[in-house]
Structure 1
């Protein structure tokens, strides 16, 4: 692995120094420049052409969101946001992820986090992961390529859609959910790998941008068509039968393969249901969470329909690639095409 160049943009001299020291300890990473605000950062990005940028949100002269828009438009580069755990910080972080930031790091104790060294491993891991992210200028029109191997063979009058997503997820979820009509005929259950303080802001923002209802899931609610339920951060989301209906289950049982919420747990709970059509969707993300659950869905019900986001659009291709290599999904296509495919399930195969 070649050494990757990193730029730190933060208005705190202390944070610039500490984060630089953390990143420079990794033999595969090198901080080539730091900047004290977004305006200064843009000049450094143009000069040094880094592989990854860490970007604070709250800065004078030019804040992180304005700088991010400029970076994505002029110098598309993987960006990791540094965020506070406040409600306002969570809102701004979600907006940044939808604008194209790859991931974020919590400033655990405010804008100047004296304990930032406690998460040094997480910082280096996320910066290294970001080096493999696909970031490019928005295109006015994409030539999309889809690969459909099988059509659904649904037999029930009820359908449940489950979605697993990780790094790059907020933007992908916005692209998907905002294109579904308000009268969409299925409930959607979503596991997005994200800390507890951020999933509520994510659900609220997606709800504002979508015709369907989007909410953070609560324990024991009966799921309804036209509503998307997002697993609360640090809680598993699964589903159970309640008579002829289905209800959410929220719990804090042990993480599964390092994840809570776990896509595998959600998919496995759906695999156990009867009298319902099952659609599993795997979007962008690092690792392979969801693969074992998708295998179980396919083994227990041959009518399960699996969709994987294609490499063409996935910010991080890990989770979809694992599904493609290990489960043989029925449909592989870019994120922009997935909403119309889900709509088609109801307008064609489920009519």
Structure 2
């Protein structure tokens, strides 16, 4: 039952969807507990921009399939003109999920499935996402000069690492795909390293994320349904709802601990890279929370290269800020790629490969 009036401190939301019925359902679901107020609705991107300018909401929910300026174009415009947290509310078929994952590379911070009017569990998840995003400060992403924080004194190569293919482990969450795709598309196809990615996504969007990567990058993208031996030019993901670890020389999917809050866990991947032989690299990109800080600390202690995305190029500074004490390098996205190439090629020469 909706309260008669929202609280003064209610979270302010603009709902963007071309369907009147969807706008009504979303409004009812969002306002059910009284701490969220829908301050405007819009049926296309152009109208949405006017609503945002007039109401200055804390969070925007966006449907992607709209006439005129669609959801992807709207997200790009918001992130350029007036960045704020964007939650994509999407349909359930594969095409919708592909578009939703693409939206995270444009600036959307989280994804949820559209819930039926009487689906209380899904409605509660929608409100939880809005509450979480309302606390997030979204940065206008701007390029900046690279800024090493520890003098760029890289670890001395270990002889024991030489037979092993280096693995570059990326961890990201809200706002991370923008940086991730910029880095991956700039890396050379002959990079003498494997890549492992842990990006926070709902489990049912994992396949869509893999499809997007295959369409955008020049690496071979594999999902670790079975153990995969890392090799140069290979990019590995965990299946949806699973963690990714380096274990016994292979990248493998593991079921997360029952107490895990986030999956796939960045800490789990980076901690496994820290414990394994090889000149591995840990990179923490834009995201909410603390995930990745413990794993990057373990990699630093183990003599691996540790990199954190610079604040000026990170849409959300939470994860990079938490990992900052363990970063040998704090770099913008363009410079992250350069550092990775330099590190792995130097160690490839030590292994006698050219």
TM-score (norm. length: structure 1) = 0.85
Secondary structure in 2 aligned to 1:296?
A: helix
Q: Which residue in the other structure is 2:327 paired with?
A: 329
Question: Any conservation in 2 of the 1:168–1:316 contact (CA below 8 Å)?
Answer: yes
The CA deviation at 1:20 is: 2.4
The CA deviation at 1:212 is: 2.4
**Could you tell me which of 172, 175, 179 is aligned with 1:168?**
175
Secondary structure in 2 aligned to 1:312?
A: helix
Q: Which residue in the other structure is 2:4 paired with?
A: none
Secondary structure in 1 aligned to 2:290?
A: coil
Secondary structure in 2 aligned to 1:306?
A: strand
Q: Which residue in the other structure is 2:144 paired with?
A: 143
Question: Any conservation in 2 of the 1:56–1:83 contact (CA below 8 Å)?
Answer: yes
How many residues align? The count is: 335
Alignment partners' CA distance in 2, 1:210 and 1:14: 38
Q: Which residue in the other structure is 1:318 paired with?
A: 318
Question: Any conservation in 2 of the 1:5–1:32 contact (CA below 8 Å)?
Answer: yes
Please list the CA deviations of residues 214-257 of structure 1 after superposition, one character each: whole Å capped at 9, or x if unmatched: 3333321212111111222201111222xxxx212113243453
Please list the CA deviations of residues 261-297 of structure 1 after superposition, one character each: whole Å capped at 9, or x if unmatched: 22222222223323x1121111111111222223333
Question: Any conservation in 1 of the 2:230–2:251 contact (CA below 8 Å)?
Answer: yes
Establish whether residue 288 from structure 1 lines up as the match of residue 290 from structure 2.
yes
Alignment partners' CA distance in 2, 1:281 and 1:196: 22
Q: Which runs of 5+ in 1 are unaligned?
A: none
Question: Any conservation in 2 of the 1:204–1:215 contact (CA below 8 Å)?
Answer: no
The CA deviation at 1:122 is: 3.0
The CA deviation at 1:92 is: 0.6
Question: What do you get for the CA RMSD once the two structures are aligned?
Answer: 2.5
Structure 1 pair 39–312 and aligned structure 2 pair: CA distance change class (3 A): closer
**Could you tell me which of 115, 125, 128 is aligned with 1:122?**
125
**Could you tell me which of 258, 267, 270 is aligned with 2:273?**
270
Alignment partners' CA distance in 2, 1:294 and 1:75: 32
Structure 1 pair 74–256 and aligned structure 2 pair: CA distance change class (3 A): same
**Could you tell me which of 324, 340, 343 is aligned with 2:341?**
343
Question: Any conservation in 2 of the 1:192–1:231 contact (CA below 8 Å)?
Answer: no
The CA deviation at 1:62 is: 4.3
Structure 1 pair 43–226 and aligned structure 2 pair: CA distance change class (3 A): same
Question: Any conservation in 2 of the 1:178–1:206 contact (CA below 8 Å)?
Answer: no
The CA deviation at 1:116 is: 4.6
Alignment partners' CA distance in 2, 1:222 and 1:262: 20
Moved more, 40-49 or 316-325: 40-49
Establish whether residue 306 from structure 1 lines up as the match of residue 306 from structure 2.
yes
Q: Which residue in the other structure is 1:240 paired with?
A: 247
The CA deviation at 1:349 is: 5.7
Structure 1 pair 51–117 and aligned structure 2 pair: CA distance change class (3 A): same
Question: Any conservation in 1 of the 2:238–2:252 contact (CA below 8 Å)?
Answer: no
The CA deviation at 1:348 is: 4.2
Secondary structure in 2 aligned to 1:178?
A: helix
Alignment partners' CA distance in 2, 1:238 and 1:60: 43
Question: Any conservation in 2 of the 1:255–1:261 contact (CA below 8 Å)?
Answer: no
Q: Which runs of 5+ in 2 are unaligned?
A: 1-7, 350-354
Q: Which residue in the other structure is 2:66 paired with?
A: 59
Establish whether residue 102 from structure 1 lines up as the match of residue 105 from structure 2.
no
Alignment partners' CA distance in 1, 2:330 and 2:238: 24
Establish whether residue 209 from structure 1 lines up as the match of residue 216 from structure 2.
yes
Question: Any conservation in 1 of the 2:300–2:327 contact (CA below 8 Å)?
Answer: no
Alignment partners' CA distance in 2, 1:313 and 1:124: 28
Secondary structure in 2 aligned to 1:20?
A: helix
Question: Any conservation in 1 of the 2:139–2:314 contact (CA below 8 Å)?
Answer: no
Question: Any conservation in 2 of the 1:166–1:193 contact (CA below 8 Å)?
Answer: yes
